[in-house]
A and B are shown apart, each in its own frame.
Chain A
């Protein structure tokens, strides 16, 4: 199973800043292993963030996003204690959802 994300969300002056780290290989499908065989692509394709159930960001990733992806964004609204959930799926159908309270 995929490892948990690390999500930081903090509200200040009416704006919530979100910083996410995802644990994922982000294999490009262009690398070869020691035996010379192509390592199949394995990467997160979609990420979604919801604040109290309302979507605040939808992202699509290609293989060029770095290993252990980092994503930061800001949205208006959000108060301390509100829920912020982040979900991702990858090209093999693995998925992960984590939730934090806005600080």
Chain B
């Protein structure tokens, strides 16, 4: 990273990440995305979250898969991936029903990025995990139960 770019990043202040990146010339302004979706992350139920994401009544779909173990040895770190063979997936979100705020993470996939993301989430207890996918302006969803166990002294 050159010095100018670093200065631009520092000077960015309240622009948000994408404003900062645009200011730094890392991305063009046209690529800058929406601000962090506070209402979606603050929502307390699946329904509220879907609404905040603009995804009321998504259809269940077998074309969306969650890759995760059935059982997590520890709820602090639960690997969750979302994969879809559908072409043109624009966005993916991971929701955990029984967490205080269901929305864990959301992803915007520019053209050319595959519908395959993996991350690791915290789960307070055994819960259904939902994967929401936006494709062609439509929302699709699938779910999987992940059990959270309590271990012993830990290896």
Interfacial residues, chain A to chain B (CB-CB below 8 A): 15, 28, 30, 45-48, 50, 53-67, 69-77, 85, 87-89, 93, 95, 97, 99
A15 to chain B, nearest CB (A): 7
Give the one of B16, B104, B117, B120 with max A CB within 10 A.
Answer: B120
The residue from A46, A50, A59 contacting B26, defined by CB atoms under 8 A apart: A50
Tell me if B's interface is mostly helix, strand, loop or mixed.
mixed
Q: Tally chain B residues at the interface, Cβ within 8 Å.
A: 45
Q: Does residue B27 face the partner (Cβ distance < 8 Å to A)?
A: yes
Interfacial residues, chain B to chain A (CB-CB below 8 A): 1, 9, 14, 16-18, 20-21, 25-28, 31, 33, 36-37, 41, 76-79, 81, 96, 99-101, 103-110, 112-114, 116-123
Query: Given A66-B77, A95-B20: A45 and B36 within 8 A (CB)?
Result: yes
Do B26 and A75 touch (CB < 8 A)?
A: no
Residues on the B chain within 8 Å of A59, using CB: 105-108, 117
Query: Given A48-B17, A95-B9: A57 and B120 within 8 A (CB)?
Result: no
Question: Could you tell me the distance between the alpha carbons of A50 and B31 in the complex, rounded to whole angstroms?
Answer: 11
Query: Given A65-B122, A70-B119, A87-B21: A58 and B114 within 8 A (CB)?
Result: no
Query: Given A53-B27, A55-B31, A70-B119: A64 and B104 within 8 A (CB)?
Result: yes
Do B101 and A71 touch (CB < 8 A)?
A: no
Do B105 and A65 touch (CB < 8 A)?
A: yes
Question: Could you tell me the distance between the alpha carbons of A23 and B36 in the complex, rounded to whole angstroms?
Answer: 20
Residues on the B chain within 8 Å of A71, using CB: 117-119
Question: Could you tell me the distance between the alpha carbons of A89 and B37 in the complex, rounded to whole angstroms?
Answer: 14
Q: List 20 A-B contacts (CB under 8 A).
A: A46-B17, A55-B27, A57-B113, A58-B33, A59-B105, A60-B36, A60-B106, A62-B41, A62-B105, A63-B41, A64-B96, A64-B99, A64-B105, A65-B119, A65-B121, A72-B119, A73-B109, A85-B26, A95-B9, A97-B1
